[in-house]
Structure 1
Amino acid sequence: MSKIRITKQFSFETGHALYGYDGKCKNVHGHSYKLSVTVIGSPITDTSHVKLGMVIDFGDLKKIVKEDIEDVFDHATVFNKNTPHVELAEELQKRGHNVILVDYQPTSENMVIDFAKKIKARLPENILLHSLRLKETETSYAEWYASDND
């Protein structure tokens, strides 16, 4: 049975700040993130199945990523909850801002690890997460590969 990789791309706007960083990214700023999600599996061969020939319906993959990542992170600001940024986060939340507190430094590298965990938990058992690419800018991105993390 052939294994096929399919990829769906997503985009969202997110702000963050890197506590303790020695450059400009210590300041609150945002990115137009682009996330590419690649899964691997065998196309459905059951001729009576409504999704015959698909590895996974792109719509089903979209639902997972939309609910767990896009809808959560879009137009939110992410801070590491284990730093003094938590005080800024609390103030912003009081003023009605969408703030996400995570237990890691919100770099693209750590965000892509977090996203991989979230997506893997929701995929059907016959579909595996192959890779993620999170573009922070047009020229900078972090990648996660299952083969590097098993």
Structure 2
Amino acid sequence: MSKIRITKQFSFETGHALYGYDGKCKNVHGHSYNLYVTVIGQPIADNANVKFGMVIDFGDLKKIVKDEIVDVFDHATVFNKNTPHVELAKELQVRGHNVLLVDYQPTSEMMVIDFAKKIKKRLPDNIKLHSLKLQETATSFAEWYASDNA
């Protein structure tokens, strides 16, 4: 049977700041992110299976991505915990803000690598993550492809 790719789109709002950056993005700011998750697999051939003909139920993929990415990053502010931004993060947390401290510079490039690791861990064995596209603005995005990272 043929391998098929399916894609589901997600959106979330996230703030961040890039410590040490030489432009405006050193300031705390936010984006309306769009995340496109593409997986690849063979449609279920067993016509007795309630998911007959599906690679993966879009609802199952949605649950994975919401649990790992959307519900975590939506309306959070992300800082690299290995920078002085940790002091700002602590102040925001004390004031009741949702702050994420990560081990990387929170660029789209690094976020998409993090997202790929998290999603791959949760996929069934017969489904592979093919690609991610994280769109930061209408004209800017980062992409991750499994074939580039084999």
- TM category, shorter: over 0.9
Residue 43 of structure 1: SS of its match in structure 2? coil
State the distance in 1 between where 2:76 and 2:94 align. Answer: 14
When the two chains are superposed, the root-mean-square deviation of aligned CA atoms in Å is 0.3
What pairs with 1:79-94 in structure 2 (closer than 5 Å)?
A: 79-94=79-94
State the distance in 2 between where 1:65 and 1:71 align. Answer: 8
Aligned position for 1:107: 107
Structure 1 consecutive aligned stretches of length 4 or more whose deviation exceeds 3 Å: none
Question: What is the CA distance between 1:40 and its match in structure 2?
Answer: 0.0
Unpaired segments ≥5 residues, structure 1: none
Aligned position for 1:45: 45
- Whichever residue aligns with residue 65 of structure 1, its letter is V
What is the TM-score of this pair, normalised by structure 2?
A: 1.00
Question: What is the CA distance between 1:85 and its match in structure 2?
Answer: 0.2
Give the total of aligned pairs. Answer: 150
Identity %: 85
State the distance in 2 between where 1:68 and 1:37 align. Answer: 12
What is the TM-score of this pair, normalised by structure 1?
A: 1.00
Unpaired segments ≥5 residues, structure 2: none
What pairs with 1:1-150 in structure 2 (closer than 5 Å)?
A: 1-150=1-150
Residue 133 of structure 2: SS of its match in structure 1? strand
Question: What is the CA distance between 1:70 and its match in structure 2?
Answer: 0.4
State the distance in 2 between where 1:68 and 1:131 align. Answer: 16
